[in-house]
Structure 1
Amino acid sequence: MRLVPIIIAVIVAAFMYFFVIERDSLLAFAASEDAAADATVVEVPEEAAPASDVVRVVAVHSTARVIDSAVVVRGETEAERQLDVLAETSGLVTSQPLRKGAFVEQDQIICQIDPGTRPATLAEAQARLIEANAGVPTAMARVDEAKARLEEAKINDNAASKLSQDGFASETRVASTQAAVRAAEAALSAAVSGLDSAQAGIQAAEARVASAQKEIDRLTVRAPFAGLLESDAAEFGSLLQAQGPNGAHCATIIKLDPIKLVGFVPETEVNRVELGALGGARLASGEQVRGTVTFISRAADPNTRTFRVELEVPNKDLKIRDGQTAEIIIAAEGKAAHLLPQSALTLNDEGALGVRVVTKDSEADFVPVSVLRDTTDGIWLDGLPEKADVIIIGQEYVIAGVPVEASYQETNE
């Protein structure tokens, strides 16, 4: 005989009896149990309830210390000089091209242009100069001759005038000598004009010679400074046409030693940067370099309101390239700051960055701060008084004016 099914059936029947037939009795019993529990809660002594709204927090006693401050900006490397070397005259290139990446010295020939008829033009100008120079002695001789004739005419006129006063010469002779003086003066003036014209011809001939010589000098395009070629020089046989003021492109030269570090400093930090200050940078490749500040802009960028700052860095091996990203650090005067855990930072309702502090009245307060430096030991903050009790745990649960009970943690200072 199976007893288990019979026992289960009896239990289910009893449960159904009490749930259906004795339902009211069960509800009354449950209500009496709840009332007893409520009565027990009411009888709890008043001392067990929270005594106040004080918030418990953890804080540290922080004292400001002077640290070597620095201005940190993002920037890039920039070539000391970069120039497109242009040809100032037209013609076919007769030199073999230098390939990009080649190093060229100052005044080294980069492009040589076919002279064409330019030497003949120079020879003609030189011949005209010789001719002009030859005409000068003749003109000077004519001037001397005119001066002598004028002197002779003046002597004759003077003699005729004296003889006329004594009655030994007629008025006709006097008039004739005076006319001769005026003619001699006109001849002298013409001779002087001829001399001036000859000298002007010399100057014009010299100008033509200089122009022809300059045109020949332009046939040789030289490197204005030592550097690397960023583009191939003009190919042999190619035609360079110097059209407009910019001329024809021969090659591009870039100077990388020394190289510049260029950054843009905010207007709030620019007064901390000085000419000659030491600085350094960490390049995107991981390389670290050092240099000095050589330029600080006096005019802000109209879009970003930042000021351009340049550092000069030695680059003898030319490993640093133009346009590399760099994190630039410039040494500045030391400032008093607090070393605190980064977790102590918080934001107020206006979104300002700061920390919560414990006041003398044991209340929380908010102090805005600025970050000077981030280290493995914490962050250096500026904006706090010399001594401050800074909340490092629980600052997110309090606002200004809330009473706090602080337990203080020792610092590693």
Structure 2
Amino acid sequence: MQRRAFTPAVLVFAAIVILIVLWIGSGMIGRTPEQMAAPQSRVPVVAASWSEARSVDRTLFLYGALQPRNSVILRARTEGQLQDIVAQGTRVHAGDALGQLSMDDRPARIAQAQANLASVQRNAEASEQLANRGVRSNLEAQARQAELEAARAALQAVEIDIENTTLQAPFDGTVSRLIVEAGSFVARGGEVLEIVNNDPLLAIVQVQQSEIANVHPGMAARVGVIGGKVHQGKVSFVAPVADAATRTFRVEIEIPNPDAAIPAGISAEVTLIAETVPAHYISASLVRLDQHGRTGVLAVGDDNRILFHPVGFVAADAAGVWVGGLDAREHLVTISHGAIAEGEEVEVRETPPEFSLPEAPQAPGIIEVDAGPQEQAP
């Protein structure tokens, strides 16, 4: 008996397959090649915050020591016993008497010089009169005149020697140290005492050759001393030649000290204000390198595309860095998921408060610069 080719079960299965094929095919009909292509990737999402520039002092931070403006060892200009001397710590003015040496035989020597001058002067006058009348030669008169000049010089030498028995202050200052006591014999050129002038004081620092171009006489400076007090000063001297051993330059900062309230010889922290520039305060983590090795930050333009701005460091502290080279107002990228490139279009959202830009300090930070070998106070 011949079997039938199509059973009801086969027909039902075939109908189901045809329906499924038609359903799938209907979705492809009428679609363009673009619609059939792979779905496009989503636009990256970044978070950004607005940053405003502030005026920031670009400063150099250096360590040094305070020294007096003038400091000398007073030496005797003649010899004698020191009969009197001022007390240590005495404030004196230029020309004040600081000590007195004994006169010894100086009164007798000046009396002798005066008598000799009088005698020689009479002889010179008489010789000149005789020469005028032709009794004596002019040559003899000239010899007597030379003797007169020598007598005058001898008298002047004794007078100066007597003046030198009084030790005088060369400038306003303070007697900081007595080297000899009253009653001691002092030879000519012997050290007697030390006098210093602490108004103004000088803060001495050493500046590296990489920074010396930014330092010049007259620029403002802040000098901090032990106790936390900060004094205003200005650069008064910049060495024209570097130290051969350290390759650093000696710089002197003058600090007014009218009441001598600041002692010399103590350590000082010197801040030199090189220039004032506009800068943005950001987290150091936002700074990155581009493909050319430039240091900069990412920002979002008006068209929501990424911009790379090269920046330079102006100042830094523990919480953030001040960077320059940006516009007065910038929309800086703070958070990005994955790598984003310059020119790439992004979707911009506001930065969550916990990841926002750090709050700028009231007083900008400073760049610490190694001062090199420290100048020691005397």
Matches within 5 A, 1:239-254: 239-242=185-188, 247-254=189-196
Number of the residue aligned with 1:24: none
Answer yes or no: is the 8 Å Cα contact 2:221–2:253 preserved in 1.
no
Matches within 5 A, 1:322-401: 322-331=264-273, 333-344=275-286, 354-357=295-298, 367=310, 369-372=312-315, 374=317, 378-383=320-325
Distance in 1 between the 2:334 and 2:198 partners?
49
Q: Percent identity?
A: 21
User: SS at the partner of 1:199?
Assistant: helix
Answer yes or no: is the 8 Å Cα contact 1:93–1:112 preserved in 2.
yes
Matches within 5 A, 1:96-135: 97-135=85-123
Answer yes or no: is the 8 Å Cα contact 1:266–1:305 preserved in 2.
yes
Alignment counterpart, residue 77 of structure 2, candidates 76, 88, 94: 88
- State yes or no: 1:137 paired with 2:125: yes
Distance in 1 between the 2:165 and 2:48 partners?
79
Answer yes or no: is the 8 Å Cα contact 1:355–1:368 preserved in 2.
yes
Alignment counterpart, residue 310 of structure 1, candidates 253, 262, 275: 253
Number of the residue aligned with 1:214: 160
What amino acid is aligned across from residue 295 of structure 1 in structure 2?
S
Whose strand proportion is higher, 1 or 2?
2
User: SS at the partner of 1:121?
Assistant: helix
Answer yes or no: is the 8 Å Cα contact 2:80–2:103 preserved in 1.
yes
Distance in 2 between the 1:234 and 1:393 partners?
74
- State yes or no: 1:295 paired with 2:261: no
Distance in 2 between the 1:84 and 1:295 partners?
24
Once the two structures are TM-superposed, the CA of residue 77 in structure 1 deviates from its matched residue by 2.3
Once the two structures are TM-superposed, the CA of residue 198 in structure 1 deviates from its matched residue by 1.2
Number of the residue aligned with 2:11: none
Give a deviation string over 1:264-307, Cα, whole Å, max 9, x none: 4455555555655544322132112223x261325143333335
Answer yes or no: is the 8 Å Cα contact 2:65–2:203 preserved in 1.
yes
User: SS at the partner of 1:80?
Assistant: strand
Judged with a 3 Å threshold, the aligned counterparts in structure 2 of structure 1 residues 277 and 347 are, in CA distance, closer, same or farther, namely same
Matches within 5 A, 1:153-168: none
Answer yes or no: is the 8 Å Cα contact 1:56–1:404 preserved in 2.
no
Number of the residue aligned with 1:21: none
Distance in 2 between the 1:324 and 1:387 partners?
44
Unaligned runs of 5+ in 1: 1-50, 147-186
Once the two structures are TM-superposed, the CA of residue 394 in structure 1 deviates from its matched residue by 7.9
Distance in 2 between the 1:301 and 1:399 partners?
47
User: SS at the partner of 1:94?
Assistant: strand
Rg larger in structure: 1
Judged with a 3 Å threshold, the aligned counterparts in structure 2 of structure 1 residues 394 and 193 are, in CA distance, closer, same or farther, namely farther
Matches within 5 A, 1:12-27: none
Answer yes or no: is the 8 Å Cα contact 1:262–1:310 preserved in 2.
yes
Answer yes or no: is the 8 Å Cα contact 1:58–1:408 preserved in 2.
yes
Once the two structures are TM-superposed, the CA of residue 253 in structure 1 deviates from its matched residue by 0.8
Judged with a 3 Å threshold, the aligned counterparts in structure 2 of structure 1 residues 362 and 93 are, in CA distance, closer, same or farther, namely same
Once the two structures are TM-superposed, the CA of residue 98 in structure 1 deviates from its matched residue by 3.5
Once the two structures are TM-superposed, the CA of residue 209 in structure 1 deviates from its matched residue by 0.9
- State yes or no: 1:205 paired with 2:151: yes
Unaligned runs of 5+ in 2: 1-39, 361-378
Answer yes or no: is the 8 Å Cα contact 1:57–1:394 preserved in 2.
yes
Q: Please report the TM-score for the alignment, with normalisation by the length of structure 1.
A: 0.61
| Number of equivalences | 309
User: SS at the partner of 1:120?
Assistant: helix
Task: Report the RMSD for the aligned CA atoms in angstroms.
Answer: 4.1
Once the two structures are TM-superposed, the CA of residue 192 in structure 1 deviates from its matched residue by 1.0
Once the two structures are TM-superposed, the CA of residue 62 in structure 1 deviates from its matched residue by 4.3
Once the two structures are TM-superposed, the CA of residue 201 in structure 1 deviates from its matched residue by 0.8
Distance in 2 between the 1:354 and 1:227 partners?
53
Distance in 2 between the 1:55 and 1:88 partners?
87
Distance in 2 between the 1:142 and 1:348 partners?
105
Give a deviation string over 1:180-227, Cα, whole Å, max 9, x none: xxxxxxx7xx62111111111111111111111111111111222232
Alignment counterpart, residue 224 of structure 2, candidates 282, 287, 298: 282
Distance in 2 between the 1:113 and 1:348 partners?
79
Once the two structures are TM-superposed, the CA of residue 320 in structure 1 deviates from its matched residue by 0.7
Number of the residue aligned with 1:161: none
User: SS at the partner of 2:137?
Assistant: helix
Answer yes or no: is the 8 Å Cα contact 2:311–2:323 preserved in 1.
no
Q: Please report the TM-score for the alignment, with normalisation by the length of structure 2.
A: 0.66
Judged with a 3 Å threshold, the aligned counterparts in structure 2 of structure 1 residues 143 and 385 are, in CA distance, closer, same or farther, namely same
Distance in 1 between the 2:210 and 2:238 partners?
14
